Structure 1
Amino acid sequence: MKKMILLSFDTEEFDVPREHGVDFSLEEGMAVSREGTNRILDVLKANNVKATFFCTGNFARLAPDVMQRIMREGHEVACHGVDHWQPKGTDFVESKKIVEEVTGITVYGYRQPRMFPVIEEEIRKAGYRYNSSLNPAFIPGRYMHLTSPRRPFMKDGVLQIPASVTPWVRFPLFWLALHNLPQWLYHMLVKRTLNHDGHFVTYFHPWEFYDLKEHPEFKMPFIIKNHSGRQMMERLDSLIKMLKRGGHEFITYTDYTNRFNS
C-alpha cells in the first residue's frame, strides 16, 4: 500500500559553532547553509521528489536566489522563525512577513527553531494552517515527550504534524539518526514506522550537507559531523531511493494538510 513521505529541511543560517563557544558570524553561517541547501536540491532533483523547506527570515532575506530555486523546482516554502540563534515570541508573525515578501507567495506552515513549543491559537491567527514543531521523542535534556501524540492531530484549528519516532520506544528518526546509525538499521526502523503509521515525517538541515569534518575550527561534536557533507548527500540519496522502491509518495506538508482536512 502506498504511504506518504513528508521530507523537510530546516533551512536556517548555520549557528551550531556558537553553541560551542566559537565566534561565528551570520555571514559565515549563511555561506555554509547556502552550499548545503544547493546540495540538498541537487539530490532531490536527481530523484525527482518534492520536499518542504522551513526557512528562517534571515535565510530568505540573504539568499533570495536559493529561495527562487526551491520554488522553481517545485518544493514548498514554510517558515522557521527569523533569527535561529535568537528566537523571539513574535517570530512566527515576522518570519511569515519576511518569507512572503521575498517569495511573493502565501506561506501556510511553521516550525519553531529547535522544535520549541508554540501557542497554536497564535499560529492560527497569523494565518498558518499547520505547525510542525513537535518531536515526540524521549531524549533526556532535549525532548521529554513520552505522552505527546505521535501522529498528526488538530489543536486550536491548526494541524500538528509531529516528527516521526518509532512506535514503542519513541526512538527519533530525525537527522542525527541518519548520521550515526548504520544505514540498514535506519532504513529498517523507517519501514517499520511507515507500516505502523502510514506516513513518515523527518527533517534535516543544510549545514549537515557541508563538509564539516574539514573544519576543526567549528568545534563540532562527532555525532553531528559524522557522515556529513558528501557522505550525507549519499545517505539522503540512498534513503530516498529505498522509499521510492517501496512505491511511497513524497508530498509537501501543505498537500498532507489538505488531505487530512478533506
Structure 2
Amino acid sequence: MTEKFVMLTFDLEEFDIPEEYGQTVSEYDQMNVTLSGMERLLKVLEKHQINATFFTTGNFARYNSSLIKKLAEKHEIASHAMYHSPTHDFKESDIEESMLVLKSITGKDVSGFRMPRLRSFDRSKLSGMGIRYSSSTNPTYLPGRYNSLDKNPLPAMQDGMMELPCSTVPVFRFPLFWLSFKNLPTGLYNSLCRITLNSRKNLMLYYHPWEFADIGDYKLPGYVKSPDGEKLTSKLELLIQSLLAQGATFVTCSKFIGN
C-alpha cells in the first residue's frame, strides 16, 4: 500500500492581521496572542506525537528565542522572512536575514521558505541561498488576493528546488487552507482532506498559531476570527484523528522531500 503523508504546517508570526482591517495592535500584544495560541496548539501536537513545520518570521524568533530553540528539538523551523506586517517593504535580504536569525537560535540550517501572505516574489534566487523547498503557492483562485490556477497543484521541482503547494481538492482546486478549515463544517472539511489524501497521497495544510488564541474581541471579519480558541483547537484534534484513522503519516516538509 502506498504511504500517505501529511505535512501539518503553521505560519509562526506576529498577530498583525488586524492591520489589514485598520486596527492597531501593539507589538507586545501581537506576540502574546500568538504565544497563547501556541500553548493550545502544542498540547494537541504533543498528545498525538506529531512533528510539524513552523514557518517562522525572524522578528518573532528574536523576541521568543527560548520557544524557537525548544520547538527545534522536535519540529522543523523554516523561514517566513523577517517580518509579516503588510506595511513592511519586503526585500530579498529579509529571507537571508531570517535564515541567519533562525540558525543562530536553533543551531540548525534552514531548508524551507514560505512567503508572507503568499505574495508573488522572485523565487529564482532561493536555491542559491540554501533553500531546498518553498511552500509559497496556493494553486487556486482567491478573489481579491490571487489567481494561481495556472500553478502546478502537485509537489514538483522548480527553480532548482522543490515547490510544495498548499493542498487543493483534485479537479475543482478548492483550497484546503486555514480559512476553509475555520469556516467549513468539520465533517465536510475532514472529508475533503481525506479525498485529497487518497488521490494524491500527500497533504500540505497550513494554519496560524494565533487562530487558536481567543481573538473574538478584535475587529476582524467573522470568517477570519471565528471559530477560535478551544473550539478551533477541538476542530484540529478531530482532523488529526480523522487522518490518522485513514493511515496517514505526519511528517515535516524536509522529511517529505527526503522521501
TM class by shorter chain equals over 0.9
Give the Cα separation in 2 of the matches to 1:116 and 1:100: 24
Match of 1:219 in 2: 219
User: Equivalents in 2 of 1:79, 1:40: separation in Å?
Assistant: 19
Partner in structure 1 of residue 175 of structure 2:
172
Structure 2 distance, partners of 1:35, 1:115, is 24
**Which position in structure 2 is the counterpart of 1:13?**
14
Query: Does the 8 Å contact 1:118/1:133 carry over to 2?
Result: no
CA distance in 1, matches of 2:192, 2:89: 33
Q: Any residues of structure 2 matched to 1:23-102 within 5 Å, and which?
A: 23-72=24-73, 74-85=74-85, 86-90=88-92, 91-102=94-105
Percent identity, aligned pairs only?
Answer: 38
CA distances 1:73-111 after superposition (whole Å, capped 9, x unpaired):
x11110001110015122211111111112211110000
Is the CA contact (8 Å cut-off) linking 2:194 and 2:246 kept in structure 1? no
Match of 2:188 among 185, 190, 196: 185
Cα distance in 2 for partners of 1:22, 1:146 equals 32
SS in 1 for 2:15: coil
The one-letter amino acid paired with 2:9 is S
Q: Which amino acid aligns with 1:88?
A: F
How much does 1:143 deviate? 2.4
Deviations 1:121-176 (CA, angstroms, capped at 9, x unpaired): 21111111000000101112112011210001111211000000011221110111
Alignment deviations for residues 177-226 of structure 1 (CA, whole Å, 9 cap, x no partner): 1111111100111111111111011100011001111x2xx201100111
Q: Which runs of 4+ in 1 moved over 6 A?
A: none
Normalized against structure 2, the TM-score is what? 0.95
- Distance in 2, matches of 1:138 and 1:169, equals 11
Q: How does 1:233-248 map to 2 (within 5 A)?
A: 233-248=233-248
1:251 matches 2:251: yes
Distance 1:41 1:145 in 2: 32
SS in 2 for 1:48: coil
The residue type paired with residue 179 of structure 2 is L
Gaps of 5+ in 2: none
Normalising by the residue count of structure 1, what TM-score does the alignment of the two structures yield?
0.94
Whether the 8 Å contact between 1:176 and 1:223 is mirrored in structure 2 is yes
> Aligned partners of 2:168, 2:4: CA distance in 1, in Å?
16
The CA distance in 2 between the partners of 1:118 and 1:93, in whole Å, is: 14
